[in-house]
Amino acid sequence: MTKYVHDVAVRWSDMDVYGHVNNARFLTLYEEARVAMFFLAAREQGVTSFEEGIVISRHEVDYLRPVDFGRPVRIETWVSQLRAASFVVSYELFDEGELAGRAKSWCVPYNLAEGFPRRLSEAERDFLKPYVEQ
């Protein structure tokens, strides 16, 4: 299995009154990595259909330690479940080399123009296969 690795900057606006990244902002950091994977990496392989619509049906987040402002965090992303019309993206967030969080997002390909969920295309499945957890 291949993991998609993306560095994400921690912004001052991500901080809360306690001086570390707000719990809700962890989802934003994970989103940055997910968008890079499905919009940038997929586009590099000629797959642009993800850009037509993916909705999130569920998130699950484990906070393992606080993250402070400073260096970018490294997020490793892979697909832990692949179905005909949905997939689960798993993440591990590393701050200065230490695991600081884990998460999962349940993703549904979606036809935004017509307003309904759709099945993954063969090209999308081919893009995802190297990232699927065995």
For residue 103, the model assigns a pLDDT of 98
pLDDT of 134 reads: 85
Range of the domain at 59: 4-131
pLDDT at site 131? 98
Instruction: Give just the sign of the alpha carbon dihedral 120, 61, 115, 45.
Output: negative
Which CATH number do you get for residue 99?
A: 3.10.129.10
State residue 125's pLDDT score. Answer: 98
Instruction: Fill in the amino acid letter for 59.
Output: H
Residues of the chain whose pLDDT is less than 50?
none
Contact 87, 128 (CB under 8 A): yes
Of 59, 105, 96, residue with least CA distance to 78: 105
Average pLDDT, the chain: 96
Beta bridge partners of 75: 6, 93
Count structural domains, the chain: 1
